[in-house]
């Protein structure tokens, strides 16, 4: 059984979540972490039992023992980090958004294909058992033909507590932080998009703080999406079909259950996650590298690129 050495790029909250999750991933070893601050890297390594702490990203890229780099740096750094990791011969799992444009993401995928390496956007929502169950219910015809989908991820963010989210130089804004989740739900549960319209409220720092989006899918379904920082709304998704409804009424971005409504009855499927949910994407990633029979990477290249176009308003 092959073991994989993981290198974690960044020491923020999401990097910590992945470091914790890797303890639940068979055949994974938390090998190294890198930060632009050696002090932060050493503290992070001590907390999570990581063998090597590097005070620069280049040191991690140059470590020949590393098989997979998990990129958890600010959004605006992702493209350069991905391309450098690929050039160093590492497979890459990169936090969403992969880059800040579909063109940049396509460039990264092309580099990975040329190098014969695996590159996946770490959109954890798509890998949850509950979300995969929802996709299965749609594909198996349990609700008939999807007709209407509603997905909201509107959650108040204080600019003093989260200055990076309001900084355009760091790739801030509601689209880059929260927009991918409703869009992912729409693509996974209602299919490819034919056309889109959106309305945006821009804040004083120049980033988008509230967005409402309407999608018309190729199968004729319509999605209504909302994401933003200014107020609180239930983080929920509902897809209505010709003969039933699927609902994740709470925290659909890390779902633990999904409910099927049909013929006057409701059936809830409880599907707990492991490693706070982050473990599933790492397990899937390693399955592909080991040639294991895995149903799919549920957030493939095509969806990364389509989501990026939609987020940019060019879908």
Q: Name the one residue in this structure whose structure tokens are 């954890």.
A: 124
Token digits of residue 296: 């799919």
Cis omega (within 30 of 0) for bond into 97 = yes
Q: Which of 79, 90, 96, 133 is catalytic?
A: 96
55 CB-near residues (< 8 Å, 6+ apart): 34, 35, 36, 37, 38, 41
Phi, psi of 259 (to 5 degrees): -115, 130
CA–CA distance, 161 with 15 (Å, rounded to integer): 18
Distances (CA, A) of 93 to 6, 132, 251, 300, 314: 10, 19, 23, 12, 25
Instruction: Name the H helices within 22-156.
Output: 38-48, 57-61, 78-87, 102-115, 124-127, 129-139
Q: Is 199:226 a contact under the CB 8 Å cutoff?
A: no
Question: Within 10 Å of residue 160's Cβ, how many Cβ atoms?
Answer: 7
Token digits of residue 200: 């945006």
CA–CA distance, 315 with 305 (Å, rounded to integer): 10
CA–CA distance, 218 with 272 (Å, rounded to integer): 32
CA–CA distance, 38 with 44 (Å, rounded to integer): 10
96 included as an active-site residue: yes
Q: Say if strands 52-54 and 28-34 run parallel, antiparallel, or are unpaired.
A: parallel
> Which residues form the catalytic set?
96
């Amino acid at each position: 059984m092959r073991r994989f050495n993981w290198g974690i790029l960044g020491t923020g909250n999401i990097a910590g979540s992945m470091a914790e999750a890797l303890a639940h991933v068979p055949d994974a070893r938390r090998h190294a972490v890198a930060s632009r601050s050696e002090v932060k890297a050493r503290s992070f390594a001590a907390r999570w039992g990581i063998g090597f702490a590097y005070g620069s990203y280049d040191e991690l890229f140059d470590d020949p023992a590393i098989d997979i780099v998990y990129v958890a740096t600010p959004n605006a750094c992702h493209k350069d980090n991905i391309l450098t990791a690929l050039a160093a011969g590492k497979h890459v799992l990169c936090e969403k958004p992969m880059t800040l444009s579909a063109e940049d993401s396509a460039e990264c995928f092309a580099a990975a294909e040329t190098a014969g390496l695996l590159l996946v956007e770490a959109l954890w929502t798509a890998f949850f058992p509950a979300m995969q169950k929802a996709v299965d219910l749609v594909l198996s015809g349990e609700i008939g033909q999807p007709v209407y989908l509603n997905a909201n991820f509107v959650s108040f963010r204080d600019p003093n507590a989260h200055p990076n989210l309001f900084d355009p130089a760091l790739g801030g804004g509601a689209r880059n932080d929260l927009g991918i989740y409703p869009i992912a739900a729409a693509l996974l549960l209602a299919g490819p998009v034919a056309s889109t319209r959106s309305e945006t409220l821009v804040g004083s720092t120049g980033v988008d703080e509230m967005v409402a989006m309407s999608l018309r899918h190729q199968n004729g379904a319509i999605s209504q999406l909302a994401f933003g920082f200014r107020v609180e709304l239930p983080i929920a998704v509902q897809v209505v079909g010709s003969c039933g409804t699927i609902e994740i009424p709470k925290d659909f971005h890390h779902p633990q259950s999904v409910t099927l409504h049909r013929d006057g009855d409701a059936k809830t499927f409880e599907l707990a996650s492991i490693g706070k949910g982050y473990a599933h994407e790492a397990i899937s990633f390693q399955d592909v590298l080991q040639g294991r029979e895995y149903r799919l990477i549920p957030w493939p290249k095509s969806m990364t690129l389509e989501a990026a176009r939609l987020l940019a308003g060019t879908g």
